[in-house]
Amino acid sequence: MSAQASRSKNSEQERRAADQALLNAAIEENDMEQDENFTVIDKLESTGISSGDIAKLKEAGYYTYESLAFTTRRELRNVKGISDQKAEKIMKEAMKNVQMGFTTGAEVHVKRSQLVQIRTGSAALDRLLGGGIETGSITEVYGEYRTGKTQLCHSLAVLCQLPIDMGGGEGKCMYIDTNATFRPERIIAIAQRYNMDSAHVLENIAVARAYNSEHLMALVIRAGEFQTYEV
């Protein structure tokens, strides 16, 4: 019985290893597909869309095929200088290059496995969030004055730069400051706590002060450009 149990255990381990290998291969293949399918709208010029119209789209905040495909025809027609006919053609070209139909549960599983949860600096808050702030989604934080919202933002600006195995995202931070509360000295203190190079951490944070709601929207549109180019 012991020999049989051992063979069964080894078989189970081999099956799990094979499943993990298949998952890793699928993730790698999906990464390659994403790199190939991520298309900036400059390539629309090869389909007959003029460079002037592409510039108008960028001014309105559209920088990728995805941003065009995910908008509505009505919103696209509202872009100054884009006629109904042009909007229809642009939308058609964008949707040719973006997967917007059905997919399999296995493909969703692969995409979900690529998400990263960034620690907040608070173990209790991380537990409430199921591990931290999840990438690929929007997390809204609200509360009364002096409840730690700004401190959380400062912490995330630093912790998102940590390696993934340390609870970070191996990335950079874009910080839009609406209340003039961004403090580099707080960033330095947090970086030192985690034995990080504070100067390097500050260089990896792009900060902009928003002075009103219209300026905020302009900054958000400008931020879209950073997603298509190395910052």
Please write the tens of the pLDDT for every residue from 106-120.
999 998 888 999 999
| CATH 3.40.50.300 residue ranges for the chain | 116-226
| CATH 1.10.150.20 residue ranges for the chain | 41-96
* The pLDDT value given to residue 27: 47
pTM as predicted? 0.69
* The pLDDT value given to residue 225: 73
- End-to-end CA, the chain: 61
Higher pLDDT, 14 or 111: 111
CATH class for the domain made up of 116-226? alpha beta
- What angle do the packed helices 105-113 and 2-37 form, to 10 degrees? 80
CATH class for the domain made up of 41-96? mainly alpha
Q: Which residue has the tokens 């995805």?
A: 66
d(CA 200, CA 157): 12
What mean pLDDT, rounded, does the chain reach?
Answer: 85
Amino acid occupying residue 143 = G
- Bridging pattern class, strands 205-209 and 173-177: parallel
